[in-house]
Structure 1
């Protein structure tokens, strides 16, 4: 007799990403983080449990950017993502997220996960602890004990505080939808409450706590992001891909390298725009995933690729599901050419490649060298490019979560 699998109820989630990032110094949710914008990592983390509807609450001016980054995130096919506009306060933003859920067919949803967009490394074990405490109260929140000594400072004076029994509250917070909506409607000023637990408790709701995760840190300062990148590196395996491409010079074509037009009397021969740098980069990226090469993905026999911009091809590579599961960390490129002189183009190529790969400029290195007048490259007949890309591969548990 075939075993009957237990029914797993679908979930909804609201990710709040409408803050100003003042202390971070720039928009932390859009900053490159482990090879992707930080918000991508957060969305992927929340979807480690069976979330089907996800609302991303963002600043109205960021909607176009967020739509692009949602498409870049490696989310399971079951997840439907909707965008909502953030308000002046967290409470207003969450309420807008709830309205968007209802407007998009989630009127019968009993529970919702509410999570900070700046907590990108919430683990599946924590999410499962939250779900296991369903129906024990009106909201389930993760907490961690405060281990540091505490003092309150005011007007130059300090007061020692007793830390016994004191805990720090994290997200996601798993809320009963009806209770959360009622709390918003019945509270005179929901902006006074820093999170959903405080709001629900203020209106008589029952708060249940579960063990949190010390690594589930909210990115607030630049140093936080660097520390969490180290955490991700420890959780995932490192993979390396190698790419090599070569083209001969021809007249009558522009010279394009690394997505940058180079001043030159000669271009490179090829089916596409013959951008040897991007071709080597694409092969290296595909190598990280064991996904073949660009010859197999974009065959020269297919007329649609004649003269095509290689940045478009790279976009297709980066959108491939096998690649989206990776977190690209760095790219190291060496261009071997006797002519033309490329020194002035190294930094523009570095910046362009960083944008295309979702990395910081410091994570991309572009080197230029000659061939000591040896062989056809040494005679100035063409260009060769070598590239090494390093990426992080998710753990087995994380790969299962996105199937």
Structure 2
């Protein structure tokens, strides 16, 4: 008996039910297929590709310690898997279930050859549904239903042995995929990350030191108070239930963090129910909203040149490191949609390309939440004031780190140097005033109503 283990966003040996099932039955051929055709507009973004390169290398190294290896192929995923089955005479394909629309289509096309396992959520998605058996579209209801099933099951240990086939199929060379960045002045700070399961272990240990004060510190961008698990979770180097139990073992249990972990599961349910959620407003009436086509404003936002220091710091952090502090993500996203009145999909796609943790469900649901266009979202008329947010969450040192033009300004002046009368010539004026932007956004919202 020989089985393929089809790997996607589940690049780990621990708590890997597809791998455990295949190894228990016979020889195993772990396979990763880089398919840039099936997702269409949602091909893997540039920052994710950097992470993917290092994560695949780390996984192959781990597999080789177990007498196995990772087979790489590129092209349409269903055709690639069928080719490997024909080459090896494999009897089955095992995989962890995914909820992105292109993965669901591929799973359906593979049919009876494919055995699917649950493993990327706190609980199997089919168990957390409404009374009608449908995925939840409101988080509070989802959280209530999920909470009744927690804690999650204990994670599975990695297989002690991963039986090898008599003959390995051919594999692409990872370097030939050219996943690493070529854009100038980009990704200079990606060295803060350690992709792979070793990086997960380090992140868990680091978070254990701050987790007790997570609810307060998570909103302070100048403080290292967040978990930074998101890219590891997105690429499946760790499962949510592994995170849950690992933190419990370390005495770190925080209600705010638990809800954020559950939010990732919730967003999978939203895109399961509404596969085009990343492209279409969750509330169709917002199709009438008069978005502005303003390429210069969009570029100023992307490059961190809006004249609002907290927004610019976040966008520059994103460009350099592939990640942005969660509180600042909300501020920056709200600024694009409400202050600049630019379609949320423009921001969503920028994040998709530049975030190492860009997740189809999480990214789309978060953008629609801040935009007010989603099925469970903030009100469109609720407009975050970036200058107030910057002062409230003590972002002065964060701004100094990412906007060096303002480094010498005082804590009082740095949030709004233009009003304070000390804006350096090297730093741009505000792209639009807060009051003017707010009135324009509210007028646009009235058109929708």
* TM-score, reference length from structure 2: 0.25
Structure with bigger helix share is: 2
The structure number with the bigger radius of gyration is 1
Decide which structure has greater strand share: 1
